[in-house]
Structure 1
Amino acid sequence: MNTAAILCLALLLDGALGEPRWLWSRLPHPAVLMGRAVQRLERGLNTGSARIARGALALAVLVVAAGALGAVLSAFGPLVEVLLVAILLAQKSLVDHVRAVAEGLRMSLPAGRRAVAMIVSRDTAAMDAPAVARSAIESGAENLSDGVIAPAFWFLVGGLPGILIYKIVNTADSTIGYRTPRYEEFGKAAARADDVLNWIPARLTALLIALPGGITGGWRDVAADARLHRSPNAGWPEAAMARAISVALAGPRAYDGRMRDLAWVNGSADRNIGPPAIDAAIARLWRAWGVLLAACALLALID
């Protein structure tokens, strides 16, 4: 069985089952184990001087270990690969978390705030309903790239070693890749590596959102808005999603009690949005997933 066929089966398995609570309530999820590995190295190496070099060393250790583990696990055959790749994808769980925000908002604003606080790092206590909806949509678009398209891309490129290397780098970035006194230097290598590994997948995600959304003709506008984002990658899927469902995203928001006047994406579109916009975004997430699945099936047939 070729790599594309394995990915097709993994996408279908993840899309159908997601992350079964009965399993991961009994066993640590691989992402949890990766996070523990990052934290253990950070505690041991993030001391003294030359912290940038120490952080690069920690990342190198993690990457070599992930690649070696992937090579070993690949020897167990296609069935093991399908199961592992399905575990490392996050389409259904992503959609479930985003849908929970729409369901919360339909009950009450506080319920919507509680649901969106589970998936974003910004301050949620003072959000109005449109801000809650925007946050959910932005998180969905960005995590489609980080949690589905990027791991799928790196599996196609490098098999199990490729997807495990991507996931450990992405986990390291989400654990230590922050501009805080503790992590500013030590996490720099992880943050830069994550930017590099997500460069192609982020733009591919934007294309996958745009194709079924019928907005490829507005690609220049998507690119222009993407460049306004503080991240070199996250702006691409957000900008594509904003135009696919005709809403304005991003804009001012608060982090750690401080308001940041960030640029709007597709700012002339509707800003007064709610659960129906989240529903539309979820539909786009599944359509992008469907395009990816179809492309993988085609690759599997011609390989």
Structure 2
Amino acid sequence: MTTALVVALLLDALLGEPRWLWTRLPHPAVLAGRAVGALDRQLNQGRNRRAKGVLALTFLLAAALALGAALAALPGQLAEIVVTAILLAQRSLSDHVRQVANTLRLSLPDGRASVAMIVGRDTAAMDEAAVARAAIESAAENLSDGVTAPAFWFLLGGLPALVAYKAVNTADSMIGHRTPRHAAFGWASARLDDLLNLVPARLTALLIWLAAGAPRHWRGFFADANRHRSPNAGWPEAAMARAIDTALAGPRSYGGTLTDDPFVHPVGGRSPGPAEIDSAARILWRSWAIGLGALALSTLI
């Protein structure tokens, strides 16, 4: 299984998400999103919405586990490797993050348009520093959600666990928000996503720390990670903040409402730009390489 994961990581890094393929076929994430959307429309109404959300998540998990098991039962390892590579996101994450840096160099509106493709916050009034922070935070958080966590669950439970994780993560991104519509219905999805990312988020922070050269003086890291609004995203974000010496998080706007979130690594630089985004992208690849090396080494022991 470890060998299959190593090959899948290399395949994802080489090919990413080929346009020629996903313009002709629906991406698995799109299919998962459609399933979550259908469940939301059908069940998220009337009374007992939390119980209905649990029912929706149970159905989604059962379908994901069954699909993963069916794919794993195919002869040989080719299907397993290809599906795993598709469900990893290292190359696409790096490409999207670098795109923000490149467009931000052209103009602020171009940078805003690029970062709007990878974050859910309001982008229309962002200055250059806010665009850069959003891209860097997305890089750190999605290294965990899109690479470390899928790899972790594949190692623990093969394709069924990997497909189930991606289904839960998709549900959390769509209905796991504390909005009037989804606070109750998405509760189960949000809590299960928190649980599934508990270990991967901390492993990602470790990888980023190693990628930064394992510096000794990261005073305040644990406090920053635990002050973050998310029980998991704070760990890779706090690690990335120190790796590139940039203050992250802080106040940001969602749906026209400004949050009062504290800064992560508040003594770091407050005016990041394209150069800091590029530094974060390099950390992404160093972290990936360290993880890949550890996996490859484990196959030889």
TM-score (norm 1): 0.96
Indicate whether 1:33 and 2:20 are aligned. no
2:216 alignment partner, SS class: helix
Counterpart mapping for 1:1-303 below 5 A: 3-76=1-74, 77-215=76-214, 217-218=216-217, 221-302=220-301
Distance 1:127 1:33 in 2: 32
For structure 1, which segment, 126-135 or 202-211, has the greater mean C-alpha deviation from structure 2 after superposition?
A: 126-135
Report the Cα offset of residue 236 of structure 1.
0.5
Return the letter of the residue paired with 2:210.
L
Q: Deviations over 1:189-220 (max 9, x none)?
A: 00000000000000000000001212453455
Residue ranges of structure 2 left out of the alignment (5+ in a row): none
Paired residue secondary structure (2:245): coil
- Cα RMSD (Å) of the superposition? 1.1
Matches of 2:30 and 2:9, distance apart in 1: 21
Kindly indicate whether the alpha-carbon contact (under 8 Å) linking 1:215 and 1:243 is maintained by their aligned counterparts in 2. Answer: no
Please give the alpha-carbon distance, in whole angstroms, between the structure 1 residues aligned to 2:167 and 2:228: 24
Q: In 2, Cα distance between the equivalents of 1:60 and 1:141?
A: 29
**After TM superposition, which residue ranges in structure 1, 4 or more long, deviate above 3 angstroms?**
none
SS at match of 1:217: coil
Distance, in Å, in 1 between the alignment partners of 2:81 and 2:175 is: 30
Q: How many residues align?
A: 300
**Partner AA of 1:133 in structure 2:** A
Distance in 1 separating the partners of 2:175 and 2:115: 23
- Secondary structure of the residue aligned to 2:258 is strand
Alpha-carbon separation, structure 2, partners of 1:147 and 1:130: 25
Three-state SS of the structure 2 residue aligned to 1:97 is helix
Task: Measure how far apart 1:272 and its partner are.
Answer: 1.4
Contiguous gaps of at least 5 residues in structure 1: none
Q: Within 1, Cα distance between the matches of 2:259 and 2:175? A: 22
1:215–1:244 CA contact under 8 A, matched in 2:
no
How many angstroms apart in 2 are the aligned matches of 1:216 and 1:180? 40
Equivalent residues of 1:134, 1:250 under 8 A apart: yes
Report if the CA contact (8 A) 1:252-1:259 is conserved.
Answer: yes
Percent identity, please. 64
Supply the distance in 1 between the matched residues of 2:258 and 2:165 (Cα, whole angstroms).
Answer: 32
Q: Distance in 2 between matches of 1:282 and 1:171?
A: 23
2:220 aligned counterpart, secondary structure: helix
CA distance in 2: counterparts of 1:22 and 1:141, whole angstroms: 28
Q: Secondary structure at the match of 1:178?
A: coil
For the 8 Å contact 2:250–2:263, the answer to whether it is kept is yes
Q: Give the superposition deviation at 1:44.
A: 2.0
Question: Which region of structure 1 is more displaced relative to structure 2, 31-40 or 13-22?
Answer: 31-40
**Which deviates further from its counterpart, 46-55 or 96-105?**
46-55
For 2:160, what is the secondary structure of its paired residue?
helix
Give SS of 2:26's match: coil
Contact 2:218–2:242 (8 Å) recurs in 1: no
CA distance in 1, matches of 2:256, 2:165: 32
Q: Select between 29-38 and 45-54 the one with higher mean Cα deviation.
A: 45-54
Which amino acid in structure 1 is aligned with residue 52 of structure 2? Answer: R
Q: Distance in 1 between matches of 2:151 and 2:39?
A: 27
Mapped contact 1:207–1:216 kept (Cα < 8 A): no
Stretch moving more, 82-91 or 60-69: 60-69
SS in 1 for 2:227: coil
